[in-house]
Amino acid sequence: LLAKCGKRKSMVQIGNQKTTADSLPNQDKYNAFLSGQVDSKKGISGLKLGDSKEKMFQILGLNKTYKSLKDRDIYYYGPNTTEIVITLAPPNTGVIRRIEVNYRFRGQTTGGAKIGDSREKVKSSYPGALATDSALFSVYCDGTTFFFSNDRLKSISLVELDFDAFKTARIKKCKAQ
């Protein structure tokens, strides 16, 4: 419920509205995305690096939860605004440069790995060359990064080279790819 407060006519929320994955606007699109597949060439659930903001809205629905920075816009989807994070650049008219999914993602990689799987299963099932590897992450030459916590897959991201924190490692180890 929203109510007018005093003469200033400002709006405040009354009550404690709990947001869940099932109470989100565009919940069908959101749920379908979370059940899709991760493929470095086809993207995550059909949303690819290089796609437009309009394509993102078509696949995931409209979203007003975003942060506009000097060189990029970052859109957040999910009840905690961290379940799906998408970076577009340049701001306002950009294309998708980074897509990340975390613990609510129920889909899988083309090799069958899922969030929560062991590090060994993820690495053995994912095709491609490693650019860099540690206990916390595995970065592949195709721009796919798997993040681990306690030896379990925590999140997956697809990142264009120029927006990748692991750009140097990818350039050094992935020249021929």
Q: Looking at residue 3, what is its pLDDT?
A: 39
Query: Does 170 score more than 70 pLDDT?
Result: yes
Q: Is the pLDDT of residue 14 over 50?
A: no
28-53 per-residue burial string, b: 16 or more CB within 10 A, e: under 16:
ebbeebbebebbbeebbbebbbebeb
* CB half-sphere exposure, 125, CA atoms < 13 A: 17
pTM, rounded to two decimals: 0.82
pLDDT digits (tens, 9 = 90+) for 121-163: 999 999 889 999 999 999 999 999 999 999 999 999 999 999 9
Q: What is the pLDDT of residue 82?
A: 75
How far from chain centre, in Å, is Cα 159? Answer: 10
3-state secondary structure of 69: coil
pLDDT of residue 176: 59
Which of 7-16, 25-34, 79-88, 133-142 ranks highest by mean pLDDT? 133-142
Q: Out of 11-20, 116-125, 138-147, which region has the weakest mean confidence (pLDDT)?
A: 11-20
Which percentage of the chain shows pLDDT scores above 70? Answer: 85
Across 49-53, 64-68, 78-82, 172-176, the highest mean pLDDT is recorded for: 49-53
